[in-house]
A and B are shown apart, each in its own frame.
Chain A
Amino acid sequence: MDRKIYGLLAEFDTATQVVDAARKIREAGYKKTDAFSPFPIHEMDEALGIRRSILPYLVFAGGVAGLLTGLGLQWFVHVYDYPIIVGGRPYFSLPSFIPPAFELTILFAGFAAVFGMLFLNGLPQPYHPVFNVPRFALATREKFFLLIETKDPKFDYEETKRFMHSLSPQEVFDVEE
């Protein structure tokens, strides 16, 4: 073979079909798989065996970091670096410090959610082999795709291709590297 293959891509017409096929792929023992759809399909997580992301923990950590930054900053400013009495309140006037600390909690948690999601997803990634399949442009419109990568230990070009055809897809494509 003179061209390098990244994997095999099967096209499906409906969400129900793609989820059924994904279940069969998983039952057949393939691990390096992925599905592509124009909208999130909740059943797909279970069908492909996607483990729950650690993202919520990152967001929680972001929120805690924001809270500590907020309180620490205000403590540093009003107790340590430039203590000054305002309105007869103590140097560390917690009730007055809650709004900025709260806002920073939200801000850092929001950054963690968005940038954590992009980081874990490996985005931005302008190039990916699946884009080499012209029909793949429909994955953002109306079609559903399943991918088995060549990296999968069970992958064997002929056999895997036959297996994918058995899932009754519209078509099976070779994904070039």
Chain B
Amino acid sequence: MQNAKDLNEIKKRIFPPMVEGNHTLASVSDKIGDVTLKKRTPFGWFVGFAIAFLVAQILLFTILYLVTKGIGIWGNNQPVGWAFDIINFVWWIGIGHAGTLISAILLLLNQKWRTSINRFAEAMTLFAVACAGLFPLLHTGRPWLAYWLFPYPNTMGMWPQFRSPLMWDVFAVSTYATISLLFWYVGLIPDFATLRDRAKNPYFKFVYAALSWGWRGSARHWHRYEIAYLLLAGISTPLVLSVHSIVSFDFSVAQLPGWHATIFPPYFVAGAVFAGFAMVLILCIPLRHWYRMKDFITDTHLILMGKVMLATGLIVCYGYAMEAFFGWYSGAQYELYMVKNRIWTGPYWWSYWLLILCNGLSIQLLWFKRFRESEFWLFLISIVVSIGMWLERFVIIVTSLHRDFLPSSWAMYSPTVFDWSMFLGTIGFFFTLLFLFVRFLPIISIFEVRTLLPEANVHGHHEEFEDNILMSQESEK
């Protein structure tokens, strides 16, 4: 019979620990809680926040100018009637999807590594959806009348047109934003209670007390809480798949070559998760450095995220191959022309090949352990993938629209400075919100990390039994 030390080593190899270092229930609460409560705000935070806030002002000025002058200040016009506004909308919404995937789907699949990254991934989702929503809202031209999109009895006797994919979008995105907010808030309630009980500053204590709604960790409450949390995960899973499917219907329901393809819903969902994981990596690599959270966001987490990125990236590449194949297999001259125009004869051929370089070739590095284990390479590949996913939407939208059925209506598209300033501005807005989140809320779910600690296990006979099975399996080998 082997001894207990061997058993621990075997366990460690089969189930790599999700929390490193010698943490206890108290030290976990202190380490994560102190970022918001005790530590002096680091100087770097002020620098980062100032930069993000300044960039967000560009958004404000662009919106001001846009509202006074009208959407003519953007570069989109016939035949490219949709450009940056929908590219950026789809890009941001897609980024948000990784947050829901991590918080909901990985919860259902019992993937314990989600626990220390779900909180800020969900925050990322909310802020990305906020950025995404701005684009269609402002593209309506008169955003103060955007409530017309919702069905409400009115003196005009008008109703929205529910057979339109754009209307489906309104329902999908508003439901997605609401459910994501609820999911995030429910996850925060026990952590607000922890902060309430630890805060020394009376104002902070009051605010956290109000936000915790009087949570006291009662067993009866936890019982219902866990049911609610699991059910929310259960309904968020089909929700997140439906949202990007519906976004893809905006295109695939139209007759336009390059848009009218059945591959779109799964291909868009995979692309969304791909882009989202890239953004999670971009955010969590610096975050775990600056806030010394490497015990919670371990190298194992980064490696696993790299693998998810590789898998979804390959699905996306399959989508690119199928798009071209559908065009050829259809035998329709317009579809064939679209493929040729997009890939080599058209004026935007470079955008297609840049896309393949960013999304197709760069991720092949992730096959190798060396690159998956390097923070630098993961960060770099994530940035390249984010650019690639933006290019993907550019290729789908612009190269399909600019040359449709009638050569007499062909035209080129180029963005104006206001297209760029609006896009850049939303990036500033996104990071402004993220900096505020990191400062005022617990960036890692404290109560869920507690459940990962060995202390959280209630010891009983079944545990001994499982250990024995594990040992006998090992000795057979």
Contacts and interface: CB of A to CB of B under 8 A. Distances in A.
A100 B150 CA distance: 11
A141 B162 contact: no
Interface stretch (A106-114, A153-161, A165-173): A106-114
B218 interface: yes
Interface string B245-259: 010010000000000
Interface in B197-253: 197-198, 209-210, 213-228, 231-232, 235-236, 238-239, 242, 246, 249
Given A40-B225, A55-B228, A78-B162, A110 B217 contact: no
B217 A45 contact: no
A117 B224 contact: yes
Given A77-B151, A102-B242, A128-B214, A82 B159 contact: yes
A99 B249 contact: yes
Contacts of A93: 163
Given A99-B168, A117-B224, A44 B219 contact: yes
Interface stretch (B50-58, B381-389, B401-409, B454-462): B454-462
B29 interface: yes
Given A74-B162, A103-B175, A137-B197, A131 B216 contact: yes
A137 B157 CA distance: 57
Contacts of B198: 137, 140-141
Given A77-B159, A114-B228, A100 B171 contact: yes
A40 B238 contact: no
Given A38-B447, A53-B227, A139-B216, A86 B182 contact: no
A114 B232 contact: yes
Residue among B167, B198, B218, B226 having the largest count of chain A Cβ atoms under 10 Å: B218
B120 to A, nearest CB: 20
Contact of A114 (B158, B182, B450): B182
Contacts of A113: 228, 231-232, 235
A152 B216 CA distance: 21
B327 to A, nearest CB: 25
A68 B264 CA distance: 29
Interface stretch (B6-14, B186-194, B424-432): B186-194
Contacts of B151: 73, 77
A111 B231 CA distance: 11
A34 B219 contact: yes
Given A15-B456, A38-B447, A114-B232, A123 B246 contact: no
Contacts of A125: 213-214
Interface string B153-190: 00001111111110110011001001100110110001
Contacts of A106: 175, 179, 235-236, 238-239, 242
Q: Tell me whether chain B's interface is mostly helix, strand or loop, or mixed.
A: helix
A164 interface: no
Nearest to B214: A125
B26 interface: yes
A45 B450 contact: no
A117 B190 CA distance: 14
B293 interface: no
Given A15-B455, A55-B224, A140-B196, A86 B216 contact: no
Contact of B197 (A99, A114, A128, A140): A140
Contact of A141 (B25, B178, B210, B457): B25
A16 B159 CA distance: 59
A15 to B, nearest CB: 5
Given A53-B224, A116-B228, A99 B242 contact: yes
A104 B217 contact: no
Nearest to B163: A96
Contacts of A35: 218-219
A93 B253 CA distance: 15
A100 B172 CA distance: 7
A65 interface: no
Nearest to B192: A140
B24 interface: yes
B472 interface: no
B364 interface: no
A27 to B, nearest CB: 17
Query: Closest 3 A-B residue pairs measured CB to CB?
Result: A124-B213, A117-B228, A142-B25
24 contacts: A15-B455, A34-B220, A35-B219, A45-B223, A55-B231, A59-B228, A59-B235, A73-B151, A77-B160, A97-B162, A102-B242, A103-B171, A104-B175, A106-B236, A106-B242, A107-B179, A109-B235, A113-B232, A125-B213, A128-B214, A139-B217, A140-B29, A141-B25, A141-B29
Interface of B: 24-26, 29, 151, 157-165, 167-168, 171-172, 175, 178-179, 182-183, 185-186, 190, 193-194, 196-198, 209-210, 213-228, 231-232, 235-236, 238-239, 242, 246, 249, 447-448, 450-451, 455-460
Interface of A: 14-16, 19, 22, 34-41, 43-45, 48, 50, 53, 55-56, 59, 63, 73-74, 77-78, 81-82, 86-87, 89, 93, 96-97, 99-100, 102-104, 106-107, 109-111, 113-114, 116-118, 120-121, 123-128, 130-131, 136-142
